[in-house]
């Protein structure tokens, strides 16, 4: 689960992308077990090492550092051609926080944050976990819909470039969503 973060996706109308994440995350089960006193120091170190090994397998991980109580720092960066990759997910498909997907039939691209049930959000907040950060999508594509908290023109970047920003103040803020088209 992301705790404090800065994420950015730069997407061109030709389908090229750069995807950055820099921030702090928590492994919920590890954090909760430590909070309750159910996990020993040895088990904490073992689980932290497993998480590090998992992240280091991904060549997009540029930095990983474990702090304590299930919290760690991650710097992740990936770039490429979305029309070939089809889907790019941070962290991975089964534990994603933010993803971009391309549908070759419609030419549409979806940028989506992971939706969490309200009950789960409440449970996370009750055990002391929260989320703050900023997500930005910079693009010159034709955006069809979005729920960004701010939109800014970027004329210095080129004609039609805009930056869509979601300022996440807490775990109960809206799940980011943007639909655009490459055609």
What is the pTM for the complete model shown?
A: 0.92
Give the Å distances, CA to CA, from 112 to 16, 29, 35, 171: 17, 24, 31, 16
Number of domains composing the chain: 1
Give the Å distances, CA to CA, from 85 to 16, 33, 154: 10, 37, 27
Give the Å distances, CA to CA, from 14 to 17, 62, 80, 107, 142: 9, 26, 11, 11, 12
- What pLDDT sits at residue 115? 83
Which residues have a Cβ under 8 Å from the Cβ of 150 and sit 6 or more positions away?
164, 165, 167
- What pLDDT sits at residue 94? 57
Task: Quote the CA–CA distance of 23 and 61 in Å, as a whole number.
Answer: 12
- What pLDDT sits at residue 13? 93
- What pLDDT sits at residue 144? 97
- What pLDDT sits at residue 96? 73
Give 59-86 pLDDT, tens digit per residue.
Answer: 999 999 998 899 999 999 999 999 999 9
Q: Domain range spanning residue 139?
A: 2-181
Give 154-172 pLDDT, tens digit per residue.
Answer: 999 988 999 999 999 999 9
DSSP secondary structure string, 70-113? TEEEEEEEEEEEHHHH-EEEES-GGG-SEEEEEETTTTEEEEEE
Residues of the chain with pLDDT under 50: none
Are the C-beta atoms of residues 171 and 121 closer than 8 Å to each other?
yes
Give the Å distances, CA to CA, from 160 to 13, 42, 142: 10, 54, 9
């Amino acid at each position: 689960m992301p705790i404090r973060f800065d994420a950015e996706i730069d997407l061109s109308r030709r389908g090229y992308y750069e995807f950055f994440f820099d921030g702090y995350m928590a492994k919920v089960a590890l954090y909760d077990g430590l909070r309750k006193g159910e996990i020993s120091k040895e088990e904490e170190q073992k689980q932290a090492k497993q998480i590090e090994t998992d992240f280091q397998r991904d060549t997009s991980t540029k930095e990983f550092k474990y702090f304590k109580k299930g919290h760690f720092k991650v710097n992740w960066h990936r770039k490429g051609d979305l029309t070939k990759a089809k889907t790019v997910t941070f962290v991975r498909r089964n534990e994603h926080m933010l993803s971009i997907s391309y549908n070759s039939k419609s030419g549409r691209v979806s940028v989506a944050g992971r939706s969490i049930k309200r009950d789960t959000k409440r449970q996370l907040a009750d055990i002391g976990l929260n989320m703050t950060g900023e997500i930005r999508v910079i693009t010159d594509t034709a955006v069809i819909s979005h729920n960004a908290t701010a939109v800014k023109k970027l004329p210095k970047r080129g004609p039609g470039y805009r930056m869509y920003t979601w300022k996440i103040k807490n775990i109960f803020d809206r799940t980011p969503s943007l639909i655009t088209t490459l055609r």
